[in-house]
Amino acid sequence: MSAPQTELTPAALTEPGMRGVVRVLGGAGTGKSSLLIRAATAHIAAGTDPESVLLLTGSARLGGQARAAITSALLSAGTRAVVREPLVRTVHSYAFAVLRLAAQRNGDPPPRLITGAEQDGIIRELLAGDLEDGDASPVAWPAQLRPALSTVGFANELRDLLARCTERGVDPVALQRIGRASGRPEWLAAGQFAQAYEQIMLLRSAVGMAAPQATVPALGAAELVGAALEALATNSDLLAAERNRIKLLLVDDAQHLDPQAARLVRVLSAGAELTVIAGDATQSVFGYRGADPSLLRGDEPAITLSRSFRCAPAIADAITAVARRLPGVDAARDLSGADGLPGSLTVRIAATPHAESALIADALRRAAIRFGGEIVAEKEFIDTGTARRTDSGVVQIQRQMPVFTQGMPDHDVLLVADESEVFGTYVPFRTWQPRPVAGTAGLTPSAWHPASEQWGGTQIQNRFAKAIGRRMVSKDMSAWTAARIIGEAATRTRSAEPEKIAAFIRAEDFSIAAFKGQKLTFRRWNWQLRQPIFLGDGRSVVSTSPQEGFLHQFSELDTLGVDQPETKCVLK
């Protein structure tokens, strides 16, 4: 493919005479998606047939915004009122469209997608048959795996393995070959299972093919792209028609594409006048799902976007300073902030466990002043390097605690600041004076507690334990709450568009229930989530903050943490 002759700038991509393949590299917020939209609208405004423009994305995130912007350009141009083919598609949506066209050309029934639940049912049914047949089964599952064949988890993992193989073009026979060569009998068995699964799916579709409602073999989402590539490879007329139709090919979030999807992009770009591939290889976080940012690491000319429209200059400078110290060389790591965006950076470095504990102690002092408490004495534990993992070391530290806490002025509670657990674990029940212990040991704060059963907590605890096999902890509740917030917003707005969901969440009256006795809301100045905090030991919840009697002019939850007058932190 010829390289562009025009000077490579973002504006050059909007010029009608631009030709070749161009990579657009940049971090989050640098305007990659907006540039693709501007390129599409500019070419359409210049007379390019809208149906010859195709914007592919690895996810549906860009869809709503891109469709709205490009549709607006079509309407303002006034040359076409109807477009037969969508201009913005996910890779899988386009692959399905190719299969539908291939079926129409061949006079075959239309393609059909198999649902995840249907696929799971078939896989579990086949596994149950393998378990029942035992040694007579055509699938040679290793003996140590047979007890797992009846579990949901094994079926899910097997389905995921087959999907990743399909995305990388590894057919059942190839998987068996890899299993033999690697000495992995479980891979060999998975290949045999995949072969049986394919035969079952073909038999299911072969029944009643003459009926009007008949379909071709049902395909899983992971099989769509491979099937589309096969259709284009075996039908030269279809391939020529698609290459003649698509003259401007735009690809967003290319780092999320698997090798099969990347191959599809290359096939289409061979006929396009201009192909623009945008993404950030450092954001390729779906490698576990088969994603490979190879399209962004080619030899084609590249435009690097370095200005972040989401970061203040101070934040961007800090990100760049950290990124430069990471392994590898990547020009897209150098970010500059957008002028005019408010934002400041405060860095606190805890170079040692002692320094980390000092930061916690500082937070405890600040809280004592804020709530009218008085710190009557402070004492530092000197770690002499005793081998705490040995029995003698543990006993030695335990015996030090009564002496260490001796001679303190009269006090109501003993606060511990020991994040690294050098000594704090041994303080409760070993103080010279019998006093409650709190902070990083004894009575500790947490966003969730495994023993919480109030306000419907028993229900979510039991559901989580049944699904995962353990009780919920703080990080589990944080993840659940985040998903609950997005799900609530999507349900209320009846939309999957990020802008609508974000606007609903940011509304004044937004709140969410989370088994904590009162509604959770967002602080409007920094968008932190207001939520009650549990105080408990390792076995039970003792209390829940905010504590009764501490009032606030807006929300009692704002008595927790750092309030708006106490910080300069602002997040738009």
Tokens representing residue 54 in the block: 């195709």
Asked if the structure places residue 506 within a domain, the reply is yes
Same domain, 411 and 540: no
Please indicate, yes or no, whether residues 266 and 290 belong to a single structural domain of this protein: yes
104 plus 231 within the same structural domain? yes
Per the structure block, which two tokens stand in for 127?
């596994």
> What is the reported pLDDT for 331?
65
Q: Domain check: are 401 and 476 in the same one?
A: no
Pairing of strands 533-536, 541-545: antiparallel
Is residue 344 one of the residues assigned to a domain? no
Domain that holds residue 27: 10-108+221-305
The domain boundary residue, chosen from 305, 333, 367: 305
Beta bridge partners of 307: 336
Please say which residue of 177, 206, 235 terminates a domain.
Answer: 206
Q: In 148-268, at which residue ranges do the beta strands (DSSP E only) sit?
A: 248-252
Distance in angstroms (rounded) separating the CA atoms of residues 549 and 532: 15
Residue 330 falls inside a structural domain: no
Structural domains counted in the chain: 4
Contacts of 207 (CB under 8 A, 6+ apart): none
In a domain, 375, yes or no: yes
Residues of the chain with pLDDT under 70: 1-7, 58-86, 204-217, 284-289, 328-332, 348-354, 383-396, 567-572
Q: Closest Cα to residue 186, out of 217, 146, 222?
A: 146
Domain boundary among 268, 283, 305: 305
Q: In this predicted structure, what is the pLDDT of residue 4? A: 47
Same domain? For 142 and 176 the reply is yes
Q: Are residues 295 and 418 in the same domain?
A: no
Task: Establish if 446 belongs to a structural domain.
Answer: no
Residue 443 domain-assigned? no
The domain that contains 83 carries what CATH number? 3.40.50.300
- Output the pTM of the full model: 0.59
Q: State the number of CA atoms in the 13 A half-sphere of 558 facing the CB.
A: 17
251: tokens are 């690809």
Regarding whether 102 and 14 lie in a shared domain, the answer is yes
pLDDT at position 177, please?
93
What is the model's pLDDT at position 1? 42
Same domain, 485 and 562: yes
Q: CA of 99: how far to CAs of 60, 201, 226, in Å?
A: 20, 17, 10
Same domain, 420 and 548: no
**Do 461 and 560 share a domain, yes or no?**
yes
**193 found inside a domain:** yes
In this structure, are 181 and 50 located in the same domain? Answer: no
Pairwise CA distance, residues 230 & 8, whole Å: 35
In terms of domains, do 397 and 546 share one? no
**pLDDT for the residue 209:** 45
Instruction: Give the pLDDT confidence score for residue 251 in this predicted structure.
Output: 92
Residue 414 lies in a domain: yes
Residue 288 confidence (pLDDT): 62
